[in-house]
Amino acid sequence: MDKFETFTGIAAPLPIINVDTDMIIPKQFLKTIKRTGLGVNLFDEMRYDDNGNEIPDFVLNQPAYRDAEILISGENFGCGSSREHAPWAIKDFGIRTIVAPSYADIFHNNCFKNGILPIVLPQDQVDVLMKDAEKGQNARMTVDLEAQTITSSDGEVFHFEIDSFRKHCLLNGLDDIALTLEKVSAIDSFEAQAGQARPWV
Amino acid sequence: MSPKTLYDKIWDAHLVDTAEDGTSLLYIDRHLVHEVTSPQAFEGLRLAGRKVRAPEKTIAVPDHNVPTTADRVNGITNEESRIQVEALDTNAKEFGVHYYPVSDVRQGIVHIIGPENGWTLPGMTIVCGDSHTATHGAFGALAHGIGTSEVEHVLATQTLIQSKSKNMKVEITGQLAPGVTAKDITLSIIGKTGTAGGTGYVIEYCGEAIRSLSMEGRMTVCNMAIEGGARAGLIAPDETTFEYIKGRPHAPKGAQWEAAMEWWKTLYSDDDAHWDKVVTIRGEDIAPVVTWGTSPEDVLPIDAVVPAPEDFEGGKVQGAKRALEYMGLTPGQRLQDIEIDTVFIGSCTNGRIEDLRAAAKILKGKKIKPGLRAMVVPGSGLVRAQAEEEGLAQIFQDAGFEWRLAGCSMCLAMNPDQLAPGERCAATSNRNFEGRQGRGGRTHLMSPQMAAAAAITGRLTDVREMMTPEPEPA
């Protein structure tokens, strides 16, 4: 996984609550056996009409937001299925940070596994950033994970909280499996002891 | 010893390691795998030269993509679906995990076949790359959905990196009124707490109304814990649970059964355990419900009317406006006047034998409204066989339902079973999101009984009106 470094990018406003994983990447795109190539179908049913033509009003189709790297949205973002295709599509489009008041649990988890930073801020602060994002190409915000801040295009700084282990993994681009395999002897001994205590498992 | 919840007890029994910041490594007893969320995980193992650490604890089955029509014996026509199912065939063989191929009578929806074959047992940790893994919580197991990266992690290490959730108790007191089901319980809870009400929590469902449910009903309740935002939902095991498990192919036997029972009987929340959140609902207050919008929290009793956006607050005002437009509904319209085109009975929420019995009871001797498309998709090949033996299949077919083979089918419409734009469906599944059952399709969630009633009248219908003899609808 790539290291998560400080960046400045365009933020796109998506003021919808309960953005679900079916919206982010509809099921017809889950048939892939790869992790890449899903960006073109991100928000497919909101982004394209029945003939596959772009719907000009949709935020990511507007010229100002085609290169957005940050998405500002409503509460309970990413609810629904466990499909990791949702963060894969987001990442493949080029979005590296999401800002919302809250996320669904599995989606939130999946973001970290893919180098995406899901920032949680209180609703009133999200509202400020949402307004800022409406400035289009001028809505360039800076995300600094080390300092745990996102800075609006006006220079207003918002501090966010993040789990220290997840922060460490994102900053260093660490692979979870390799980290866990360092503890293989603990897994071995747990397995041996649990096998004694609960042999029917 | 300090008092613990059931979740605390299962968590503690599976803790391999805890770091200073509280990040824990949890041992996984059962890993269920399906074709959609696993190909990238197996590919990851292959690229890194890793093996599946515990293939004997890993169970794979194709369910999401598989066609449910009889011609599937000739192979899957859709090329992408076929490739995904073939990838699972290959991966299961190469990595040596338990496998139920499409041709196996035991094939079915992963959350139905796990319990059915005795893989799901109390006190276990169970994961699957599928959010409805919460279903297995009905057995007093800690079961939840994971992403594909985590699938790879569990395949490689048999553990999961987790931070502990908070404890939430949802108590359903008293008894349910006639016509009210487990589905109405679980939808009513989400209607009350919202789709994010459980975020950050593991829910334990308890109370007399929950205790009175069969295992099938308990699975329906736990299945939708995820729609309420919770990581998992569980119910403490009791005699109903043990009775269900006993004799299943992979359940413990003989001395091991006795040993297991000894532990299983300790799996309950202590009286003075700490709860971070408590929700109580009177069973008597729950009515047969349907959803009107595009979020599972958009729940109302069947005798209510379509709400107006102004009835809500905050972001939900816009949400409701968008939902009403998508669903083609007008505020003030009676829910019972909403006409439907399609009825879907099935899914991991309501595709078990008891669900089919309940629907068949309403449909017996009746016909579906002419012009309606109605299908029953049993949750597994074994459910299908049992329903045929009990004569349920005949009742459905006589009524005008299509009698399908097992799979996820129109719950998420990855296979050919889909709604056309604007089509409206009475569904026993779990999600009414925009486009869930097909682009532009409109979904109303409800119980199997309510879906059967809707099939007869061609509109959303109060099943209670059909439970007493009444003239045939026009």
Phi–psi pair at B318, nearest 5 degrees: -65, -40
Whether residue A194 is contained in a domain is answered as no
The CATH number linked to A81 is: 3.20.19.10
Give the pLDDT confidence of B76-91 residue by residue, as tens digits. Answer: 999 999 999 999 999 9
DSSP letters along B43-97, please?
A: HHHHHHT---S-GGGEEE---SS---SGGGGG--SSHHHHHHHHHHHHHHHHHT-
Distances in whole angstroms, Cα of residue B387 to Cα of each of B345, B392, B397, B405:
13, 5, 12, 12
Within 8 A of A25 by CB-CB distance, chain B residues are none
Q: How far is B328 from chain A (nearest CA, A)?
A: 17
Give the range of the structural domain holding residue A91, as residue numbers without chain letter: 7-174
Tell me which chain B residue has its CA closest to the CA of residue A23.
B434
**pLDDT band of A1, cuts 50, 70, 90:** confident
Q: Which residue has the higher pLDDT, B413 or A90?
A: A90
Within 8 A of B84 by CB-CB distance, chain A residues are 31, 33
Give the pLDDT confidence of B350-370 residue by residue, as tens digits. Answer: 999 999 999 999 999 999 999
Question: Which A residues, 56 through 95, put their C-beta within 8 Å of a C-beta on chain B?
Answer: 74-76, 79-84, 87
Q: Are A103 and B200 in contact (CB under 8 A)?
A: no
Angle at B422 between CA A83 and CA B370, to 5 degrees: 115
Q: What is the pTM of this model?
A: 0.95
Does position B469 have pLDDT exceeding 70, yes or no? no
Question: ipTM above 0.85?
Answer: yes
Q: Are B103 and B405 in contact (CB under 8 A)?
A: no
Does position B421 have pLDDT exceeding 90, yes or no? yes
Note whether A33 contacts B: Cβ–Cβ < 8 A.
yes
How far apart are alpha carbons B155 and A55 in whole angstroms? 41
Q: Of the ranges A78-82, B151-155, B467-471, which one carries the lowest mean pLDDT score?
A: B467-471
Count chain A–chain B contacts defined by CB atoms under 8 A: 186
Give the pLDDT confidence of A13-67 residue by residue, as tens digits. Answer: 999 999 999 999 999 999 999 999 999 999 999 999 999 999 999 999 999 999 9
Within 8 A of B127 by CB-CB distance, chain A residues are none
Q: How far is B145 from chain A (nearest CA, A)?
A: 6
Could you count the other beta carbons within 10 Å of the beta carbon of residue B118?
17
> Dihedral (C-alpha) B234, B239, B244, B246: value to the nearest 10 degrees?
120
Does position B60 have pLDDT exceeding 80, yes or no? yes
Whether residue A179 is contained in a domain is answered as no
**pLDDT band of B472, cuts 50, 70, 90:** low
Among A82, A183, A199, the residue with its CB nearest the CB of B147 is A82
Residue B425 is labelled as binding a ligand: no
Tell me which chain A residue has its CA closest to the CA of residue B416.
A28
Give the pLDDT confidence of B263-315 residue by residue, as tens digits. Answer: 999 999 999 999 999 999 999 999 999 999 999 999 999 999 999 999 999 88
* Number of domains into which chain A is organized: 1
Task: Walk me through the domains of chain B, giving residue ranges and CATH numbers.
Answer: 6-277 (3.30.499.10), 289-466 (3.30.499.10)
Q: How far is A188 from chain B (nearest CA, A)?
A: 9
Residue B411 is labelled as binding a ligand: yes
What is the amino acid identity at position B435?
Answer: G
Within 8 A of B436 by CB-CB distance, chain A residues are 22, 27
**pLDDT band of B470, cuts 50, 70, 90:** very low
Whether residue A66 is contained in a domain is answered as yes
What pLDDT score was predicted for residue B474? Answer: 52
What pLDDT score was predicted for residue A18? Answer: 94
DSSP letters along A119-155, please?
A: EE--HHHHHHHHHHHTTGGG-EEEEETTTTEEE-TT-
Within 8 A of A23 by CB-CB distance, chain B residues are 433-435
Residue B222 is labelled as binding a ligand: no
